[in-house]
Amino acid sequence: HANRTIVTPTNEAAQFMNDFLLTRIPGELKIYRSSDTVDNAALYSIKFINKLTPSGFPPHIHTFKLKKKRCIMLLRNLDATNGHCNGTHYIIVGSILLIPRIPHVSQEMEFSFTFTCRQFPVKPAFALTCNKAQGQTFEQIGIYLSTQFFSRGQLYVALSRV
């Protein structure tokens, strides 16, 4: 349901909950793999690139899993006039919304080479970090505390989203 979420303190906890909840949804699993390129392909294989998750990249950059009824969140502004903006929630129902694959380019200062991953600008959204939930309002929330919040401000955000 797009009007409810689980709020967590960390990306790891949100990813754990999203992966777990995906297994609870009946139906066919579809996997969308990124289209990757690397500047010096002779030295770095795509298999090696697929093991990397640079800072700023979504954790599912190389493989994104979808099922009908999965809640996702848009990570880029695609069509603001029609409400398709960063942070918008969707439930996969079978309707068609054209979402282009967006290139994510690594920074040379993090690695000694540059590579690009093209993937859909969406992320699983059954569970979100309190930072990503900030500024949004939900009808219902749950709080998953695998670890403590980093600050009182995070707890305030988590408790004030309803």
| 61-118 tens-digit pLDDT | 788 898 988 899 998 899 999 999 988 888 888 777 788 899 988 877 788 888 888 8
Contacts of 49 (CB under 8 A, 6+ apart): 36, 38, 115, 117
Q: For residue 9, what are its two tokens?
A: 């303190």
Among left, alpha and beta (phi > 0; psi -120 to 50; other), residue 23 is alpha
Contact of 110 with 55, CB cutoff 8 Å: yes
Condensed to tens digits (0 to 9), the pLDDT of residues 10-69 reads: 888 999 999 999 999 999 999 988 888 888 777 888 888 888 878 777 776 788 898 988
Condensed to tens digits (0 to 9), the pLDDT of residues 131-159 reads: 888 888 888 989 898 887 777 777 777 77
Whether residue 8 has pLDDT greater than 60: yes
pTM summary value = 0.79
**Per-residue burial over 98-135, b = 16 or more CB atoms within 10 Å of its CB, e = otherwise:** ebeeeebebeeeeeeeebebebbbbbbbbbbbbebbbe
